[in-house]
Amino acid sequence: MKAILLALVVLAVLIIIACGIWVGVALISAIMPVRKPKPPPKT
């Protein structure tokens, strides 16, 4: 029981960090969008 309580709190910490990384990735792709290379002209 005691260990489970602390384990749940550590899990919550990991969830917050994961959310931070997820939003961070979305932020980077919003401010620095990757430009798709133009397709070569058809000959």
Partner 1 sequence: MNVVLSWAAVSVYVLVLAFVAIRARAAREYEDFSVAKRALPLALIFGSLAADYVGPGFSLGFVGRGFNSGFLFLFVGLAYAVQNILVGLLVAPKLRELKDCYTLGDAMGQKYGRKCQILAGLISVGLCTLFSAVMISAGSVVLNDIFGLPRWLSVSVVAVVTASYTTFGGLRASVITDAFHFVLFALLLPAIFLYALLFHFEGGAASFFQQASTATTDGFKSASAIQIVSFVAAFLLGETLIPPYANLALASKTARISRNGFILAGLFSSVWFTVMVSLGIVARTVVAKDTHEDYVLLSLVNSIMPHVGYALLLVALVSIVLSSLDSLLNAGAVVFTQDILRRFAKLPDTVALKSGRYSTIIIAGIAAAAAVFVPSVIKGLLFCYTIWAPAILPALIIGLWIKQPRPLAGLLSMITGTLVALLFELPFLLKTQVPAILPALACSLTAYLLGHWAEGFYKRRPFSVVLRRMKRK
Chain residues that interact with partner 1, rule: CB under 8 A:
1-3, 5-6, 8-10, 12-17, 19-27, 30-32
Nearest approach, Cβ of 37 to partner 1 (angstroms)?
A: 21
**Region for residue 40 given its phi and psi (left: phi exceeds 0; alpha: psi -120 to 50; beta: otherwise):** beta
Nearest approach, Cβ of 33 to partner 1 (angstroms)?
A: 10
Spatial neighbors of 32 by CB under 8 A, at least 6 apart, are none
Distance CA 11, CA 30 (A): 29
Name the residue nearer to partner 1 (CB basis): 33 or 41.
Answer: 33
Name the residue nearer to partner 1 (CB basis): 3 or 34.
Answer: 3
